[in-house]
């Protein structure tokens, strides 16, 4: 296609100095985009991260693992990563909170979602005709 000789893609982009009221901080962007927002206190970061109608995933990067577990316990996100991001083995359930999805994909958690239950009773003895 004319004008797309180099490919049809979005280059990875990092936005710095992002403020809470900016659109890129309030809406999900499905692409290789990272928004960087500064914070002073742990509680402030948690409140700000949860102040959204979405909750697909979150990532925490720190050398303090007890702190990381404390933070992800408070985050309203369906999948949380500590010291990495967007790794989803097939056996790990994946899905979001709030407006970011209902239910889970992958693993045993998905079986009910992709299955339809049916009950069947079979009588193996003599049956009197109801007619």
pLDDT, one tens digit per residue, over 91-123 is 766 666 676 666 667 667 666 766 766 667 777
Q: What is the pTM of this model?
A: 0.65
Task: Say if residues 105 and 95 touch (Cβ distance below 8 Å).
Answer: yes
For strand 54-55 and strand 97-98, is the pairing parallel, antiparallel, or unpaired? antiparallel
Predicted pLDDT at 10: 79
CATH, domain 39-110, list 1.10.287.310, 3.40.309.10, 3.20.20.70, 1.20.1440.120: 3.40.309.10
Beta strands in 53-108 (DSSP E): 54-55, 57-60, 79-82, 97-98
pLDDT, one tens digit per residue, over 59-88 is 999 999 999 999 999 999 888 889 998 777
Predicted pLDDT at 23: 92
CA distances from 26 to 23, 48, 52, 54, 106 (A): 5, 10, 7, 9, 27
What interhelical angle do 42-50 and 65-74 show, nearest 10? 30
């Amino acid at each position: 296609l004319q004008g797309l000789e180099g490919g049809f893609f979005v280059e990875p982009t990092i936005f710095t100095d992002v403020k809470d009221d900016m659109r890129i901080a309030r809406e999900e962007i499905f692409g290789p985009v990272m928004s960087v927002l500064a914070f002073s206190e742990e509680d402030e970061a948690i409140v700000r991260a949860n102040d959204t109608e979405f909750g697909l995933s979150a990532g925490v990067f720190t050398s303090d693992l007890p702190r990381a577990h404390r933070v992800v316990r408070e985050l309203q996100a369906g999948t949380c990563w500590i010291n990495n991001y967007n790794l989803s083995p097939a056996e790990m359930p994946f899905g979001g909170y709030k407006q970011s999805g209902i239910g889970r994909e992958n693993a045993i958690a998905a079986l009910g979602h992709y299955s339809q239950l049916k009950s069947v009773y079979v009588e193996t003895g003599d049956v009197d005709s109801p007619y």
